[in-house]
Amino acid sequence: MEQTLLISNILLWLLVIGLSVAVLLLARQVGVLHERITPVGALMIGKGLRVGEAAPGFRLANLNGPEVTIGGTQADGRSTLLFFLSPTCPVCASLLPTLRTLVRQENLALILASDGTPDEHIGFIARKGLSDLPYVLSTELGIRFGVSKLPYAALIDAGGVLRAHGLVNNREHLESLIEAEREGVASIQDFVKRGNAQ
Amino acid sequence: MIDPVIDLVLRGGLAAILGYAAFHKLRDRETFKGQLAAYALLPEGLIQPMSRALPLIEGATALFLLARSEHASLLSAALFLLYAGAMGINLARGRHDIDCGCGGPEGRQTLHWALVFRNLLLAVGAIAVGFPLGARALSWGDYAIAGLSAVAFLALYTALNALIANVPATNRLKA
């Protein structure tokens, strides 16, 4: 009898550990699947503005230089990439180097936008070496662009028309905004919808 | 009174959880600093020192648990409750989308009430470690059971964390 119990116990232990590991691996696989089916592209959230319409005009004080104008026709013919960030958002900070490379490659004007008091941003600008970029603080701007999550980006062409906007969490999302402008699609969802329609 | 085998399992499991938490925080200090700042609970001047101190406290607590120090039980329970409180406050503020900082840089786990509940359970386990041990001589079989239980416990703990991390993505799919 004792022999039977011992063997059954050993077997049960092996099964318990085997099952625990199996559940662990399954949960991981579900996570990987979720990552795969999440659209790789800046996701449009909320209502905010419509792509293809004129972006709202703003004239805002710049922490790093003269006032900046958002919206309206740009004299130098360059599109503007508006990047909404916050000093307390780690993903925003990690995207900054990518953002610089991208605007250089694509010849875009980059404007950083946030809200709050200047004090909390001045330290952030110094730490991240952003003093060469226009940096505006405006709650109104974020509300008009429908920014509910950070980091958020909006692309406005030289004519002042909003070309693409969305939540950007990585390089692919940023590039998808530029791609969206080139292809004339509003967002990754819009692109998928068109593909289905054809 | 708590059986020595249960005590061993709890100590081993909690020490492993705290040790791993300390390890991933120390390996990527910048990410942890950002995650700590995102909780918006500390004044800016304290974020840098706290982001260095917390992993060291976690690591030391793990060692204290293994070394059976007198106050290890209370210290680890306090840590779990502190984290549960910090997450609870931010969930109450409606900040569901910040990273909880529990999974390391690749973890990408946003806050969820299940995590608060998980931490409360861990705190209960940590308090149980402080109870007096039952007097009983341990045989090799007891050690074997303690070891196997710890492995099963950690595997299930990691699996549950992975499942909680999947909850927001699953909800997005349902919507």
Q: What is the pLDDT of residues B67-120, one digit of tens each?
A: 999 899 999 999 999 999 999 999 998 888 788 888 765 566 888 899 999 999
Would A31 be classed as within a structural domain?
Answer: yes
Query: Do A147 and A185 belong together in one domain?
Result: yes
Instruction: Find the closest chain A residue to B168 by CA distance.
Output: A34
Query: Do A18 and A78 belong together in one domain?
Result: no
More confident call, A48 vs A141: A141
Chain A nearest CA to B145, separation (Å): 8
Query: Do A127 and A177 belong together in one domain?
Result: yes
The residues on B that touch A, with CB distances below 8 Å, are 30-31, 33-35, 37-38, 40, 44, 97, 99, 145, 148, 151-152, 155-156, 158-160, 162-163, 165-166, 169-170, 172-173
Any idea what the CATH number is for the domain that residue A132 is in?
3.40.30.10
> Residue A188 pLDDT > 70, yes or no?
no
**pLDDT of amino acid B16:** 95
> Residue A16 pLDDT > 90, yes or no?
yes
Other C-beta atoms lying within 10 Å of the C-beta of residue A122: 15
Residues of A in contact with B155 (CB under 8 A): 17, 20-21, 23-24
Q: Which residues pair with A81 in a beta bridge?
A: A110, A155
Domains: count for chain A: 2
Asked whether the beta carbons of A188 and A72 are under 8 A apart, the reply is no
Would A45 be classed as within a structural domain?
Answer: no
Query: Do A33 and A64 belong together in one domain?
Result: no
For the segment B53-63, what is each residue's pLDDT rounded down to a tens digit?
999 999 999 99
The residues, any chain, with a CB within 8 Å of residue A148's CB and separated by 6 or more, are A45, A46
Mean pLDDT computed over B130-152:
88
The residues on A that touch B, with CB distances below 8 Å, are 13, 16-17, 20-21, 23-24, 26-28, 30-31, 34, 37-38, 87-90, 93, 120, 123, 149
Would A47 be classed as within a structural domain?
Answer: no
For the segment A147-186, what is each residue's pLDDT rounded down to a tens digit?
777 788 888 888 888 888 888 877 788 888 778 777 766 5
Burial of A59 (0-12, 13-18, 19+ CB in 10 A): exposed
Instruction: Find the closest chain A residue to B37 by CA distance.
Output: A88
Query: Do A31 and A64 belong together in one domain?
Result: no
In this complex, which of A21, A30, A90 lies closest to B34 when CB atoms are compared? A90
Q: Mean pLDDT for chain A?
A: 81
| Beta-carbon separation of A21 and B155 below 8 A | yes
Query: Do A63 and A158 belong together in one domain?
Result: yes
Query: Do A101 and A187 belong together in one domain?
Result: yes
**pLDDT of amino acid A195:** 60
> Residue A45 pLDDT > 60, yes or no?
no
**pLDDT of amino acid B124:** 96
Domain that holds residue A161: 58-197
CA A169 – CA A151 distance, rounded (Å): 7
> Residue A198 pLDDT > 60, yes or no?
no
Query: Do A14 and A103 belong together in one domain?
Result: no
Chain B nearest CA to A12, separation (Å): 11
**pLDDT of amino acid A77:** 81
Other C-beta atoms lying within 10 Å of the C-beta of residue A92: 24
Query: Do A87 and A32 belong together in one domain?
Result: no
CA B134 – CA B130 distance, rounded (Å): 12
Query: Do A111 and A156 belong together in one domain?
Result: yes
Chain A nearest CA to B156, separation (Å): 5
Query: Do A73 and A134 belong together in one domain?
Result: yes
| Beta-carbon separation of B34 and A89 below 8 A | yes
| pTM, two decimal places | 0.62
Instruction: Find the closest chain B residue to A9 by CA distance.
Output: B145
More confident call, A41 vs A124: A124
Q: Give the position of tokens 């013919």.
A: A77
Would A53 be classed as within a structural domain?
Answer: no
> Residue A131 pLDDT > 80, yes or no?
yes
CA B114 – CA B118 distance, rounded (Å): 6
Would A44 be classed as within a structural domain?
Answer: no
